[in-house]
Structure 1
Amino acid sequence: MTINSEPSRAYLEQLEQDTERRKNELKHHLASHDGAADELHERLESLIDGQTAALGHVLHELHENPETAFQEHRAVKLIVDHLADHDIPAENPAFGLDTAIRAEVTSEDFDPACHRTIAIMSEYDALPGIGHGCGHNVIAVTGLGAFVALVELIRGTPSAFSGRVVYLGTPAEEGEGGKEIMARAGALEGIDAAVMVHSYIADLVDQVWLGRRQCTVHYRGAAAHASSHPFMGRNALDAAVLAYQGLGLLRQQTPPTDRIHAVPPEGGERPNIITEAATLQLYVRSQRPATLKALSQRVTEVLQGAALMAGVDVEIDWDSSPAALPVLGNSPLSDRWVLAQRRRGRDPYPAGTVSEVLAASTDFGNVSYRIPGIHPLISITDQDMGLHTRDFAAAAATPQAEAAGVDGAYGLAAVALDYLVDDALAQHVRDDFHAGGGGIAVESYFD
């Protein structure tokens, strides 16, 4: 029997049509702030463009030598060497992680009691088997180029800004929560805001990023001969199957953007033995911290109920790697990003252009609920393709990707500069952060 296993594209095509419609309908409503003087931005652009060849070298070296979470040793050396080429010392290891990096530059008059600090972040981990299918090699050079340009700016023009810029090289974004680990070790202490940019198939000022938690469930029953003594067994696989079915039924009552994924890595070895041990691994995702907490509770109840029905023991382990919160955007900082990208010949689409249904997760969300931050997206390809694919990995080594690395670097540097020099903008950033629900106790949120 042959089954047509090709999913219908009707819904996806409708989402794509809706996106095209919103591209024409949605408009930016940019807040009016002065930011830094034009001559400073011109100098900043020049300092970014002067790194084009070196940043391209880093981008391609990272692409050709992908390293997965916590193994990014070659990547770290490339970045630290680039900083050293500009006489910038870097701390590595940092915050208890061998592949984390920290560097900083301060103005001559810097006083933490009076002046602001902004962090610029890079990612550089790759995906197992796919390489840079999420474009982290591009993300790496955007943060690196931005930081170096601001260092050179303050060296050449000491009055350019009063404050501090911190560069954070953040490993293990892919499922391991590197930024949360760093934050718990003090990486964000004394930092008032943070910026980074992500590779994508379009220029977007903002997009929905779901919060995500991981869960591993161990069911343990009693083994018995499945033919002669089945009544003496307690089937752990039954519990796993009941849980899987229960999670499927639960989806009917969850918000449209909630996601539940489950796989059974362990479920017995032979059919004539009542299964003694079974395991489920889950991801759950939701659009708000509060709804992620509520979804986690309902999932826990389903998992416990399955154990009760099957008469087996259950152990539920949440967050073997730190949970990722949704990304909390910041409109005033996003507005500065738009203006900076327009300077580079780009015009990012407004928030809401792409459907909230098409959402993934990132550990930058944990940063964004601690301090104000932005996580815009920058196009490295004109082709319609998904993240975490070999096609996207190939796109991350093209001339378009190189251009995105340079344009993204200017965008991050420009936002940081505007934030440091404009007091009214900084106040607006703080107000927007608190109005959006920022400032929660991230580390203990799910306790």
Structure 2
Amino acid sequence: MSDNNLANIKSAVIKMIDTEKGSLEELSLKLHANPELGYQEYKAVEWLCEYLSRHNFSIERNTGGLKTAFKATFGQGKPVIGFLAEYDALPQLGHACGHNLIATAAAGAAVAARLAAKLYGGTVCLIGTPAEELSGGKIQMVEKGVFKELEAALIAHPGNDDIATTQALACVTLNVEYFGKESHAAAHPDKGINALDAIVLAYTSLNSLRQHIEPGARIHGIITDGGKAANIVPGHSAGTFLIRSQTLPYLRELMDRVLDCFKSAAQATGARLEYRFDKSIYAPMNNNMALANLYVKNMDMLGHRTLLEDPEMNFGSTDMGNVSQVVPSLHGYYAITGKDVSGHTPEFASAACSAKGIKGALDAAKAMAMTAADLFGSSANLEKVKTEFQKSTRPSA
């Protein structure tokens, strides 16, 4: 297909999303005003499916066995290009990560990408993925094979810069509890076993460990229970900790070293330790640079000076990393705030319903749909993306 045809499709994509601006803005603000936690996003799913149904998408509910996951499809045959929607909120902060914008951008991109699928052939797929924030819904969906039919998976996240790739760390959650023995802290401290001392000692050990781990690794957490009253030797303590690393092998090494800190504190204090690592481990992001380059060119066409990658970008973790291990993936960012505003804050939640936030989501929708057109319309582009992915996931000799 000629470059001229592709240029015409991209122009049509931009025009369609401009036409849908009112509906997409309404959808985004409705999601923002009704934040729902992971696996409780029933309203979000209804509104997204309703919007996609109006544009002739077929809807599958309970995808991967998750009640608030869904798959919407349009067209038939290969290639299958997927857009991923996130729509869960944060406890107390609401949409302080901008997932209302992520869902809106995915919906807009899917509707506009139909134009390319109609012209060139293929299938547009929007997959609704719940519980990114705290539970890693995509991890379970990967295990169920939900994404295996896709030639590419695309998602765009609001942030404070325009970047086509992300530095996402492998991550696992560790929950710990210590069980000691309560006694009067003044009259009979000798009869008690202090569970608070145990977790404080373990926390101090973790602080010492941090000095001797790889620069890209992270260990952080909170104490969620430290006792009942100041005059009672605490008989119970608890905490939640996150362990992050740039690679899965080093993450597993760190898991053992962190656990040793908690075990030694139990031995030192006499408190009994119980612990549980979450089964869902967030994988590092496998950025597909061929896909990212296409996205950069399309964002540039829209007036965004988008970086291919940013070595100064802060680390985080996302279950999109798990998707990127099984299918070529794009996880781009678009700016809705200045660099002085961090995600997961009230200020970012406000930006996620601002005019700049809505415009950012609409531009991201255009760029993702145009990138899908690059894949639908050019077998050479698609082959580059596939070849790079195969090389990146090939076991080293």
Question: Normalized against structure 1, the TM-score is what?
Answer: 0.82
Inter-partner Cα distance in structure 2 for 1:424 and 1:290: 34
1:436 alignment counterpart: 392
Matches within 5 A, 1:46-445: 46-107=15-76, 110=77, 115-154=78-117, 158=118, 160-227=119-186, 229-319=188-278, 322-353=280-311, 355-356=312-313, 358-382=314-338, 384-437=340-393
Q: Deviations over 1:225-279 (max 9, x none)?
A: 4455544443322221111110000001012222211222122223444332221
Of all paired residues, the percent bearing the same amino acid is 33
Inter-partner Cα distance in structure 1 for 2:54 and 2:101: 20
Inter-partner Cα distance in structure 2 for 1:42 and 1:120: 20
Contact 1:201 1:378 in 2 (8 A): yes
Inter-partner Cα distance in structure 2 for 1:422 and 1:81: 31
Inter-partner Cα distance in structure 2 for 1:234 and 1:169: 48
The letter for the 2-side match of 1:366 is N
1:26 alignment counterpart: none
Inter-partner Cα distance in structure 2 for 1:129 and 1:439: 43
The letter for the 2-side match of 1:323 is I
Residue 37 (str. 1) matches residue 6 (str. 2): yes
Inter-partner Cα distance in structure 2 for 1:195 and 1:392: 23
Contact 1:35 1:421 in 2 (8 A): no
Contact 1:55 1:405 in 2 (8 A): no
Residue 129 of structure 1: how far off its partner (Å): 1.9
The letter for the 1-side match of 2:27 is V
Inter-partner Cα distance in structure 2 for 1:269 and 1:255: 37
Residue 161 of structure 1: how far off its partner (Å): 2.5
Inter-partner Cα distance in structure 2 for 1:373 and 1:88: 22
Residue 106 of structure 1: how far off its partner (Å): 2.8
Contact 2:82 2:127 in 1 (8 A): yes
Q: Secondary structure of the residue that 2:223 maps to in structure 1?
A: strand
The letter for the 2-side match of 1:64 is A
Contact 1:143 1:196 in 2 (8 A): yes
Inter-partner Cα distance in structure 1 for 2:361 and 2:394: 29
Contact 2:6 2:377 in 1 (8 A): no
Inter-partner Cα distance in structure 2 for 1:382 and 1:269: 43
1:16 alignment counterpart: none
Q: Secondary structure of the residue that 2:58 maps to in structure 1?
A: coil
Contact 1:328 1:438 in 2 (8 A): no
Inter-partner Cα distance in structure 1 for 2:394 and 2:202: 34
Inter-partner Cα distance in structure 2 for 1:438 and 1:377: 27
How big is the alpha-carbon RMSD for the aligned residues of Structure 1 and Structure 2?
2.3
Q: Deviations over 1:361-395 (max 9, x none)?
A: 21111111222201010112346311111111111
The letter for the 2-side match of 1:379 is A
Judging changes above 3 Å, is the alpha-carbon distance between structure 1 residues 144 and 319 closer, same or farther for their aligned structure 2 residues? Answer: same
Q: Deviations over 1:281-330 (max 9, x none)?
A: 1111222222222221211121112112222321220016x222222211
Q: Secondary structure of the residue that 1:345 maps to in structure 2?
A: coil
Q: Deviations over 1:126-173 (max 9, x none)?
A: 22222211111111111101111122443xxx4x22332221011111
Contact 1:72 1:125 in 2 (8 A): yes
Matches within 5 A, 1:6-17: none
Inter-partner Cα distance in structure 2 for 1:235 and 1:399: 53
Residue 36 of structure 1: how far off its partner (Å): 7.5
Inter-partner Cα distance in structure 1 for 2:349 and 2:236: 38
Inter-partner Cα distance in structure 1 for 2:336 and 2:144: 33
4+ residue runs over 6 A deviation: none
Inter-partner Cα distance in structure 1 for 2:250 and 2:315: 15
The letter for the 2-side match of 1:59 is S
The letter for the 1-side match of 2:46 is K
Unpaired runs of 5+ in structure 1?
1-33, 441-447
Contact 2:194 2:269 in 1 (8 A): yes
Contact 1:258 1:285 in 2 (8 A): yes
